[in-house]
Structures are given as C-alpha cells and as structure tokens.
C-alpha cells in the first residue's frame, strides 16, 4: 500500500522530512507520496475539505496520513478511519471527517498503540506515521484499534469559502463544481465572477471560475493572480 502525506508542516521546514524518515523506519517497502505540506496552517475545516477532494482520487488500499493539528498534545484522540477500502490516519479534530462522510462506507477507530517515546508536540512523526505504516503493511492488529465515533464531524456538505490558494494565486473553494450551474455568477472580494471552461476562454488577466482537476470550484485570472486581484485569503466567503 502507498502512503500519502497531507499536512500543514510546510515544504521548507524540518517536519515533513522527519515524518518520511519515521515511515521509512516502520514501512521501508511502502511508497510514500507527498500530496501537500502547505495546507492552510491551523485551519482544520479548510484542510478537511481539501483533503476530501484529494482523498477521493487515491487508489484503493492506500493510506492517507493527514496532520493539521493545532491541538496536538491536548485531549483530542488519535484516529484511524477506514473509508471505501482506504485508510485515513490523523487527529480526531474534524480533519478526517469530510473525506469519511463522503465515502459510501466508513468506520472510525481510536488508536490504542503508543510509542515508547512520544513528543507532545509531534504526534505526526511519533504516533501517526508508525500507525499509518502498520496499516500500509497490513498489520492492523498492531495499531490496537477500537471503534468510536468522531469527536467532531464537519459532515459531507460543501463550504462556501476559500480553502486554499496555490502559488499562481488561484483560489480553491470548498464548493464542488457539480453543485453549480455554469451560468452561476460568483461573488468574492466585492467582484462578480463569471464561469469559463478553461483559462484561454477568459480575457487576459480576466477573472473567472471553473471546475478544477479535483472537482472543486476554483477562481482564477488568466495569466494573473486572482488572490491579488480580489484581496482574499483562506476562510473568506464566496457568494
């Protein structure tokens, strides 16, 4: 099984590499693939909706190790969720709940396994990575899973707000494109934004929205930064 990483650790910091090192120790034969290490820091709900869109495209049998965990070291439990033949591993703070809720079938479990040494501030490396490795290797019993319910469940509904901004300045929303008619005019940053199918259909630097490659509504500007034009950020509403 491949292990896919989704975190807010940052691509240029020391944390993602340490998680990969732990995975190499516990699952040396499994592939480890980076989905994203620049999810919006501390914003669990935005990350949950982005993770759900990405998780939907992962191959059967894979494990998604997801960490956006501002409450690390607190009372929230570590969680593993089986969803449509794949696994999610991370904190029980709502991060895994949207992906799970959109699955045809899912089951959450509390993780009973603990390492001999557990840094209070780095469960991603010391707890979640080893458990993800166990599941990827097919040794589920070692994780000591027990059935539980989500402590926080955001549900399967969309959110009408910005959940991510890429390095081009394209603004990804928590709206699934299939829920909007192409004639719909969106509003963001005090501007009205029409639909276009692809970038080349919009005028130079013109704003438009379209269905991106993971099925979400994305606001863009042809060869320009939509975020800069609109002056919006993660968490801002989309009308």
16 — pLDDT class (breaks 50, 70, 90)? very high
- Given a cut of 90, is residue 93 above it in pLDDT? yes
Residue 9 is predicted with a pLDDT of 98
Residue 193 is predicted with a pLDDT of 98
Residue 209 is predicted with a pLDDT of 98
Mean pLDDT across 14-18: 98
Residue 1 is predicted with a pLDDT of 85
112 — pLDDT class (breaks 50, 70, 90)? very high
Nearest of 15, 101, 115 to residue 65 by alpha carbon: 15
- Given a cut of 90, is residue 57 above it in pLDDT? yes
Residue 27 is predicted with a pLDDT of 97
- Given a cut of 90, is residue 49 above it in pLDDT? yes
Residue 103 is predicted with a pLDDT of 98
**Percent of the chain at pLDDT above 90?**
100
Residue 66 is predicted with a pLDDT of 98
216-227 pLDDT, tens digit per residue, is: 999 999 999 999
- From the centroid of its chain, how far is CA 150? 17
Measured CA to CA, the distance from residue 219 to residue 231 in angstroms comes to 12
152-201 pLDDT, tens digit per residue, is: 999 999 999 999 999 999 999 999 999 999 999 999 999 999 999 999 99
What average pLDDT does the structure give for the chain? 97
135-152 pLDDT, tens digit per residue, is: 999 999 999 999 999 999
């Amino acid at each position: 099984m491949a292990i896919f990483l989704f975190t807010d650790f940052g691509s240029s910091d020391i944390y993602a590499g340490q998680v990969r090192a732990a995975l190499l120790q516990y699952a040396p034969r499994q592939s480890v693939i980076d989905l994203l290490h620049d999810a919006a820091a501390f914003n669990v709900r935005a990350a949950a909706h982005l993770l759900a869109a990405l998780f939907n495209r992962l191959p059967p049998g894979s494990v998604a190790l997801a960490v956006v965990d501002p409450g690390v070291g607190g009372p929230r439990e570590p969680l593993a969720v089986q969803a449509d033949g794949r696994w999610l591993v991370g904190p029980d703070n709502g991060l895994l709940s949207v992906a799970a809720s959109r699955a045809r079938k899912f089951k959450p479990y509390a993780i009973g396994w603990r390492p001999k040494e557990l840094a209070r501030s780095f469960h991603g490396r010391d707890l979640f990575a080893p458990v993800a490795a166990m599941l990827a290797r097919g040794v589920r019993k070692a994780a000591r899973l027990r059935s539980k319910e989500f402590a926080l469940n955001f549900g399967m509904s969309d959110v009408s707000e910005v959940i991510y901004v890429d390095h081009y300045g394209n603004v990804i929303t928590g709206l699934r494109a299939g829920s909007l008619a192409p004639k719909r005019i969106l509003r963001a940053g005090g501007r009205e934004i029409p639909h276009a199918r692809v970038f080349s259909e919009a005028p130079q630097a013109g704003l438009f929205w379209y269905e991106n490659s993971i099925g979400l509504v994305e606001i863009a500007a042809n060869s320009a930064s939509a975020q800069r034009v609109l002056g919006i950020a993660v968490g801002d509403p989309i009308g």
